[in-house]
Structure 1
């Protein structure tokens, strides 16, 4: 260690700060240009490096699109690639400043380990996101139901999956809980069964109603004509005979076919004088004899 001169008088005590300032001034004069250039060089390198990393990220994304890489994989990998490129640039800048890059990497690793231990749930979500990309229980654009939530998958990110509901709402679900719970995917298969429950009166002719409903399905362009069509009695209700009307439609046409089938079946039944009953109660009032009527 350098020897520290002890002050012998009050004059020496006063002059010590001035000597320190003089020492720092000499360092700034002799080394200032080198330090300033290193800082400017580091800032320029960092700025240009981030710009280049952004361009590389966009280039990788365009190549993925050109090769028809699945959108789910793109939305998951692009943010990771962006982060990795920026970390590489920061390490390069640290090295340019003459600092110990290996020590910096070790420090980042230590911080990463500490953060990982503190955020174990986030790590499980990250791992689940990778499993979702690999096993593909769903992908971007699929309509899914899970844990009471349903909607179209908008994106699969590092930690979360985003759903857009039919009401215009956005639901963000952690990948971990999503992957570890049952998922109903309505978009995996090309066709989806359309179920319509229709009630007719007990007084109506079932065979006539069946023929009318079958004609509606055969004339509906959204119903797959080469798939099975069913019109049968489902149950005997309190006020109606309930029919099970079933046909197949393409998954992307499901809701359009659902609304059109309900509307067209109602019009067809009305046109053929087949009623659709509603719950009602019949009241029978009996006249009770009064004393005046008995006297007469």
Structure 2
């Protein structure tokens, strides 16, 4: 046994050393590329999607080269590998069929990087709006989305590439948020509309989306209309533009609070939702 180890210690050492060196090089490369991506994104304010995908791709290439080199360094493993490759036609077909899913994810990831239906930090809604969050990473196999509860949604690239996606940051980031509220039927409509318009104009996150011609012609920055009038009250809607969906959400939240306070000051009431009557309980 000692004679065998003495005779092959150099080969075993080379094999282990190459694998260890491969892991170290991949780790260092991953850390360096990660820091480069952060600096490059801040400096040029560009899209980091290409860098993230390239980072994972380079790590994969390093491991493939390292493992192949380690096998070639051991003559016995090299001979076994050569014979297995020559006699494993059926196994190769089985592995090829089994790897179709992995290959599909890699190809889909490449398509995502090239055609960019979404990018890193984009806000997405998918699966009939049941899943939503911010794109955190795009690997060779998965797209990682961080939802608004700080949980990670891991979706295979081949799956998300076939989904219908609502991308709040695709193209123009500006978004028009609808602020709706109902008032009692005896409310002065003009007063209620004026309050909605005034509160919207006071919000610091609003964006004036009017064209120059519209400003010259005196078009109002905030549009407020009556959607419907029925036994449940008068429903009003204000159209308010924001820089992105995050600002639009904050505007809506602040508007509900400020408008309710203004309504309380002038005596405008919000209609109560009628309670449903359960049959057989009329006398209760």
TM bracket (short chain): 0.7 to 0.9
2:107 corresponds to:
127
> For 1:54, which of 24, 27, 30 is the aligned residue?
27
> For 2:95, which of 89, 99, 115 is the aligned residue?
115
Q: 1:249 to 1:155 in 2, by over 3 A?
A: same
Q: 1:71 to 1:112 in 2, by over 3 A?
A: farther
For structure 1, list consecutive stretches of 5 or more residues without a partner in the other structure: 1-24, 282-296
- 1:84 & 1:74 partners in 2: Cα distance? 15
For structure 2, list consecutive stretches of 5 or more residues without a partner in the other structure: 211-220, 276-284
> For 1:44, which of 17, 35, 41 is the aligned residue?
17
RMSD across aligned positions (CA): 2.9
Query: Any conservation in 2 of the 1:218–1:225 contact (CA below 8 Å)?
Result: no
Measure how far apart 1:104 and its partner are.
3.9
Question: Is residue 2:247 matched to residue 1:264?
Answer: no
Deviations 1:151-204 (A, max 9, x none): 111222222222222233332222222111211001223211111111122212
> For 1:153, which of 135, 149, 152 is the aligned residue?
135
Alignment of 1:1-296 (within 5 A): 33-68=6-41, 70-99=47-76, 104=81, 107=85, 114-148=94-128, 149-188=131-170, 189-227=172-210, 228-251=221-244, 252-280=246-274
Measure how far apart 1:107 and its partner are.
3.5
- 1:47 & 1:156 partners in 2: Cα distance? 27
Q: Secondary structure at the match of 2:110?
A: helix
Query: Any conservation in 2 of the 1:42–1:93 contact (CA below 8 Å)?
Result: yes
Residues matched between the structures, number? 254
Q: 1:121 to 1:97 in 2, by over 3 A?
A: closer
Q: 1:279 to 1:64 in 2, by over 3 A?
A: closer
2:281 corresponds to:
none
Q: 1:186 to 1:205 in 2, by over 3 A?
A: same
Q: Secondary structure at the match of 1:115?
A: helix
Measure how far apart 1:99 and its partner are.
4.9
Measure how far apart 1:103 and its partner are.
7.7
Q: 1:91 to 1:176 in 2, by over 3 A?
A: closer
- 1:241 & 1:32 partners in 2: Cα distance? 89
Measure how far apart 1:144 and its partner are.
0.7
Q: 1:40 to 1:174 in 2, by over 3 A?
A: closer
- Farther-moved stretch of structure 1 (100-109 vs 31-40): 100-109
Q: Secondary structure at the match of 2:75?
A: coil
